[in-house]
Chains A and B, each alone.
Chain A
């Protein structure tokens, strides 16, 4: 029927927060560190012609690796647990497995090993878990959480032996893993995890980090005010319209040609707007760590004050097929597996934070 479908499931949710970096209760750091698996980082600097070099540094230094066909039992071997899991921040995420239909695994830096399994694999494996929050009867999935950092999770103990037996004898789960390791001891190189996998006979390569820079000339930029996110006063834009505009820039929508009477698109830059001579955006893709993103955020806060920019933005996209979104909150894929957040940083230390999440994810 012609009537719009009002009762269909919403495709996504959005959380908007406005706060100040100097607020003692501000949770911006926690928001970044809780989002363990980051795929892409994007920044936009309006009114800035050349990208300052030092904000690129933290992300390009990240060393991520990809290792192929690693059995899960390898990760809970005592030498690996002792050498890497307990001595730094290890992020491991299965690659190429789709969370809505296939088995997925992730190891968080907190030491939680999370397996998101299909019913078949779950029943073959025989480790106790619980039914996933998301998914209908057909695509029933199960979540197993094991704390491998627990001091009692060592060979000889009942739990360890049982899990080892399940992972080796019952079902030998193998994954392609993406991994990063941040050692506690600064003298140790983070590449030693690559060496470990190579010594054990696995292919382990460095994951390339892709960078892209785009420059705009004479771009119309919406005017926003940090105190007025609803755009009630006519001097600034609504925060949601502004977010859409940021998205349009990120997806490289041609904003110059579109006007209201155009046949193909009715989208225009929200008003009020101002013309900026030069703008620069920068994208970095790969597997990025939370610490490097915090570094970028700190640098951006300095830049926005030093260079007198109206605002800068920092967008972080998570992996669609990660079993967790923020913290240990379960994540799934329905229409999309969105888990991304955007900071808009103002010179007066105020910030706006947008968290965009898919329909099968828990609101924070």
Chain B
């Protein structure tokens, strides 16, 4: 059997109103937005060649991260269609592509790394002491891990 090769596009949803609140975002809404953008940009041909492989694998309404699967080769059509999305469900929003990976695992790795890098920024946005302490704890554990890795690598 020949393996079906896929590409996973890891995107961040950026809401136009820029409010940091939790919203009701489902995979079905994202799929609908992508498929209609695909129809206008690439027509029946685009839909036909991606119908079987296009799938929204993961949606996180809190961090607004989305993972979209598409067949390798045709994924370029999805990528180009993503640019033209201005509305997802009832929200005014657009996608920002973070990573293009061959497996979910590689996307997951990237996502963890991405979040870790975001932590210092969160620290500055903390409002009370409790939150600040929590974030600092996470950062220090992460930096400890990082130091260990560096130490191992140097041997």
Query: In the complex, which residues of chain B have a beta carbon less than 8 angstroms from the beta carbon of A3?
Result: 76
A1 within 8 A of B: yes
A2 within 8 A of B: yes
Question: How many angstroms between the C-alpha atoms of A2 and B43 in the bound complex?
Answer: 10
Distance (Å) between the CB of B51 and the closest chain A CB?
Answer: 15
Question: How many angstroms between the C-alpha atoms of A124 and B77 in the bound complex?
Answer: 52
Distance (Å) between the CB of B92 and the closest chain A CB?
Answer: 26
Chain A residue at smallest Cβ distance from B76:
A1
The tally of CB-CB contacts under 8 A between chains A and B is 10
> What are the 10 tightest A-B residue pairs by CB atom distance, in nearest-first order?
A1-B77, A2-B42, A1-B76, A2-B80, A2-B77, A1-B74, A1-B42, A2-B41, A3-B76, A1-B73
Binding site for B on A (CB under 8 A): 1-3
Question: How many angstroms between the C-alpha atoms of A1 and B73 in the bound complex?
Answer: 9
- Chain A at the B interface: mostly helix, strand, loop or mixed? loop
- Chain B at the A interface: mostly helix, strand, loop or mixed? helix
Distance (Å) between the CB of A1 and the closest chain B CB?
Answer: 6
Query: In the complex, which residues of chain B have a beta carbon less than 8 angstroms from the beta carbon of A2?
Result: 41-42, 77, 80
Question: How many angstroms between the C-alpha atoms of A3 and B74 in the bound complex?
Answer: 11
Query: In the complex, which residues of chain A have a beta carbon less than 8 angstroms from the beta carbon of B73?
Result: 1
Question: How many angstroms between the C-alpha atoms of A3 and B77 in the bound complex?
Answer: 10
Distance (Å) between the CB of B80 and the closest chain A CB?
Answer: 7
Query: In the complex, which residues of chain A have a beta carbon less than 8 angstroms from the beta carbon of B76?
Result: 1, 3
Chain A residue at smallest Cβ distance from B43:
A2
Chain A residue at smallest Cβ distance from B73:
A1
Residue-by-residue, is B71-103 near A (CB-CB < 8 Å gives 1, otherwise 0)? 001101100100000000000000000000000
Question: How many angstroms between the C-alpha atoms of A2 and B77 in the bound complex?
Answer: 8
Query: In the complex, which residues of chain A have a beta carbon less than 8 angstroms from the beta carbon of B74?
Result: 1
| 7 more A-B residue pairs beyond the given contacts A1-B73, A1-B76, A1-B77, with a C-beta to C-beta distance below 8 A | A1-B42, A1-B74, A2-B41, A2-B42, A2-B77, A2-B80, A3-B76
Chain B residue at smallest Cβ distance from A1:
B77
Query: In the complex, which residues of chain B have a beta carbon less than 8 angstroms from the beta carbon of A1?
Result: 42, 73-74, 76-77
Query: In the complex, which residues of chain A have a beta carbon less than 8 angstroms from the beta carbon of B77?
Result: 1-2
- Contacting A at CB under 8 A, from B44-84, are 73-74, 76-77, 80
Q: Provide a sorted-by-A list of 10 A–B residue pairs whose CB atoms are within 8 angstroms.
A: A1-B42, A1-B73, A1-B74, A1-B76, A1-B77, A2-B41, A2-B42, A2-B77, A2-B80, A3-B76
Question: How many angstroms between the C-alpha atoms of A352 and B73 in the bound complex?
Answer: 46
